[in-house]
Structures are given as structure tokens and as C-alpha cells.
Amino acid sequence: MFDFLSRFFKPQGSSETAKERLRLVLLSDHLQLAPDVVEALKYDLIAVISKYVEVDVESCEVTFEQQDRTVLMLANIPIVSMKVRTLDQPAEPEPIVLGEPELEVQPATVTSHAHAAAPRRRRRRRKRLGAGSDNKQHAVTGPLGESSN
């Protein structure tokens, strides 16, 4: 009865606000990246993927999620079409206009903080690349970064 009446007299609870604010602040604490740098990372990520496939920039979502005590990056990037390229035609990165803010991105300092997003962190990308992806020649070089020999 009182609970029912209370609803009319008072605005909705603030614990949801607290939860959401905590979620966001801890995300940036764990990544040790400022929120604007996270924003820049999103733009860069979309830009890189746009080199290979045409994406729907408007519908791109890049979010971070806490799973246990690690941070997952989830990218939901709808692909509009494949950019067909032949093997001997190197990728010509097209300038992509994202209307991104010009940010001086400092290299993120990944310290010994146990929960900082380590570079090896598993990243899940929910993008569906066609099976006949044609960019084999751009496969990243070996794990030690040695050039072709």
C-alpha cells in the first residue's frame, strides 16, 4: 500500500543511475583509457574495417563489456557489401569520412594493473565476413612481426 503510494510521490530510484555510472567509470578505469580515447578507438576501428568491406557507419556499435574481471570489446558492424579486389591489386585505403573528432591519441599505457586490457585480450567481433574474403595478401605477418623473407 505504502509502496504503491510512494510511487506517486517520488521519482524513480537512483540505484539504476548509480549502477550505470559505475559501469562506465570502471570500464574506463580498467582500460586505463580516457572516455574520449575510447571514442577515438571506435572511430579508428570502424575506419580500418571500412578499408576491406563497406560498412554501414551509421549503425556501427562498438561497446565494451565487463566479463568477470576482464574487459571485452564487442563490435557490431553491419556490412553493406564486399569490396571485391584481385590478389595483385593491393588495397588502396580510401579516405573515410566519419566526422570524427581530431584527437591526439596518446599511446595507452598498459601497466601491470592486473585488469588492464592487455594487448592479447581476446576480442570478439561480431562481423560477418564473407567466406571468399579476398584480402589474403594482407594477412598479418608472423607473430614476431618479421617481414617476408
Spatial CB neighbours of 133, under 8 Å, sequence gap ≥ 6? 52, 82
- Check: CB of residue 73 under 8 Å from CB of residue 123: yes
C-alpha 87 chain-centroid distance: 28
* d(C-alpha 25, C-alpha 131), whole Å: 39
Task: List the one residue from 106, 111, 141, 147 that touches other proteins (CB under 8 A).
Answer: 111
Q: Report the alpha-carbon distance of residue 68 to residue 60 in Å, rounded.
A: 25
**Residue in 106, 112, 147, 149 binding other proteins, rule: CB under 8 A:** 112
Determine, following the binding rule CB under 8 A, whether residue 3 of this chain makes contact with other proteins.
yes
- Using CB under 8 A as the binding rule, whether residue 121 contacts other proteins is answered as no
Residue 128 binds to other proteins (criterion: CB under 8 A): no
The answer to whether residue 120 forms part of the interface with other proteins (CB under 8 A) is no
Choose the stretch contacting other proteins; rule: CB under 8 A; options: 12-20, 42-50, 79-87, 123-131. 12-20
* CB of residue 87 to other proteins, shortest distance in Å: 46
Under the binding rule (CB under 8 A), the answer on residue 23 touching other proteins is: yes
How many residues are there in the chain?
Answer: 149
Q: Smallest distance, Å, CB 19 to other proteins?
A: 5
- In eight-state DSSP terms, residue 114 is T
Cα 25 to the center of its chain, rounded Å: 17
Q: Which is nearer to other proteins, 30 or 42 (CB)?
A: 30
**C-alpha span between 39 and 121 (Å, rounded):** 19
- Give the binding site for other proteins (CB under 8 A): 2-3, 5-6, 9-10, 12-16, 18-19, 21-23, 25-26, 29-30, 32, 66, 68-69, 109, 111-115
